[in-house]
Amino acid sequence: MSITAPVLFGRLAKGDCRELAGDLEPELIQWLVDTGLGPVTLSALGAAKSILPEDMQQLLLAVDLSARFESSGRTEALLEILKAAGPDAGIGMLKGMLIAHEFYPQPHLRPMGDIDLLTAPDKTDQLSELLRELGYINESREDAAYYATHHHLMPFHLPGTDIWVEVHRGLFPQRSGLAENGPFDPTLVYQRTRPTDFYGLPILALTHEMQFFHTSVHWAEEFRQIGGMLGLLDLCMLLDHVGDSLNWDWIFSQSGNSMHIAPAQIALTYLERAGLLKLPPDVNKSLKKSGGLCSTALNFQHTIVDRYVVLGKPPGNVVNKVNLFIGWNTALHYGKSPLFLPRVLWNVAFPETESKRYKLGYQLKRFRNLRDKLKASS
């Protein structure tokens, strides 16, 4: 039996893949590991993992053990920071670290990268000094000038470990165009937090509505094939956690910029298609009105998610990684009508990021490269 993408993703999100165990080919299991869902897959298989080939069982067990170790290390590092900072430091926790600990059944099921912290604008220097006292040093391939207008300070690294900390003063860089107004106004982000705790220590987290915004927009704007399932899974876990308490009225009141809501429209309709939620009619109507993506654009994006993000099909010569991103990004920004499709073809033929895109020599070179690739693959 061939596993469809919505079924696979739906079973992973529900934490029960036992009935799919016999149909999980080694290539698909390897893809789930590569994209960060190895521990989730192992947990969802349960005792049914014994059906898998021995080498696949060992692979899943190994990545699960590694994830537990890494999660434990980052947890201990954050606890050390919070204890040193004291109960009145007003530190907030963002992104993977927060989502893993607050919404997933077990923290290690959600891969974590950096420890992302949020502070009040007047306390960034205080937290920076604390991190240096704990042995962290600033490290980056970018120079200091780059971070002058960035949404977080130059990353802090604890030498001899794989622990990195980012001190945020906003959620998106100014150059993205997302931080200028609406929910991501950097002057208002810190105010849109709620108190919670991290193993008994006080900490702040984004309100659930802000977390919803940040997760969906970050997922769509960053668009990655490898790791792209995590944003969808994060939203699913968040919605499962908050239930019917999400304040949709506030969300739609903040979505004057279509780029604040179009990603949510794509993600939520995909989760609905996977049988993971049922959107109330009024919410569905508001999503269409605020996001503005037509059904053709939504189907276009869902196809990309199905084929390349969930099932991990490798890009080819024509639909390569660059063209895949161009198609996704064009539909995301211009998918208000089916006329976005000709624009996709135009942007593929004349990439916006290429300064020589209108020159005949450049286009002939691209054509020859594509012809050679097609010949080599035939």
How large is the average pLDDT for residues 84-111?
93
Q: Is it the case that residue 173 has pLDDT exceeding 90?
A: no
Predicted local confidence at residue 113, as pLDDT: 84
Q: What is the pLDDT of residues 179-205, one digit of tens each?
A: 666 788 888 889 999 999 999 999 999
- Rounded to the nearest 5 degrees, what angle is found at the Cα of 182, between the Cα atoms of 180 and 184? 65
Kindly indicate the confidence band of residue 259, based on its pLDDT and cuts at 50, 70 and 90.
Answer: confident
Residue 167: exposure state from Cβ atoms within 10 A (0-12, 13-18, ≥19): buried
| pLDDT band per the 50, 70, 90 thresholds, residue 284 | confident
Q: Is the dihedral of CA 365, 367, 369, 375 positive or negative?
A: negative
The boundaries of the domain holding residue 187 are 5-292
Provide the CA 277 distance to its chain's centre, in angstroms: 19
Pair 85, 58: CB distance under 8 Å: no
Instruction: Compute the mean pLDDT over every residue in the chain, rounded to the nearest whole number.
Output: 89
Query: What pLDDT does residue 70 have?
Result: 94
- In the chain, the N- to C-terminal Cα span, in Å, equals 29
Residue 358 clears pLDDT 60, i.e. is over it: no
Please state at what angle helix 54-85 crosses helix 38-45, rounded to 10 degrees.
120
CATH number at residue 31: 3.30.460.40
The mean per-residue pLDDT over the stretch 363-374 comes to: 67
User: How do residues 1-35 score in pLDDT, each as one tens digit?
Assistant: 589 999 999 999 999 999 999 999 999 999 999 99
**Residue 131: inside a domain:** yes
Residue 339 confidence (pLDDT) above 80? yes
pLDDT of amino acid 158: 95
Q: Determine, yes or no, domain membership for 363.
A: no
Do 263 and 251 touch, CB atoms closer than 8 A? no
Residue at 303 is within a domain: no
Residue pair 270/10 in contact (Cβ under 8 Å)? The answer is no
% residues pLDDT > 70 (the chain): 92
Residue 152 half-sphere exposure toward CB, CA atoms < 13 A: 20
- The per-residue pLDDT for 240 is 93
Residue 305: pLDDT over 80: yes
Q: How confident is the model at residue 357, as a pLDDT? A: 60
Give the pLDDT confidence score for residue 180 in this predicted structure.
67
Per the rule left: phi > 0, alpha: psi between -120 and 50, beta: everything else, 75 is alpha
Residue 205 in domain: yes
Mean pLDDT of 287-300: 87
Residue 246: C-alpha distances to residues 29, 70, 291 (Å): 34, 31, 18
**Number of domains, the chain:** 1
* pLDDT band with cut points at 50, 70 and 90 for residue 149: confident
Q: What angle do CA 39, 40, 45 make, to 5 degrees?
A: 100
* Closest residue by Cα to residue 5 from 228, 279, 220: 228
| pLDDT at residue 317, rounded to an integer | 77
Per-residue model confidence (pLDDT) at position 152: 87
pLDDT tens-digit series, residues 72-91? 999 999 999 999 999 889 99
Does 310 reside within a domain? no
| 157 DSSP β-pair partners | 137, 164
Within a domain: 84 = yes
pTM of the model: 0.89
The Cα angle at residue 323 between residues 317 and 324, in degrees rounded to 5: 100
In a domain, 298, yes or no: no
Axis-axis angle for helices 95-103, 54-85 (nearest 10): 110
374 part of a folded domain: no
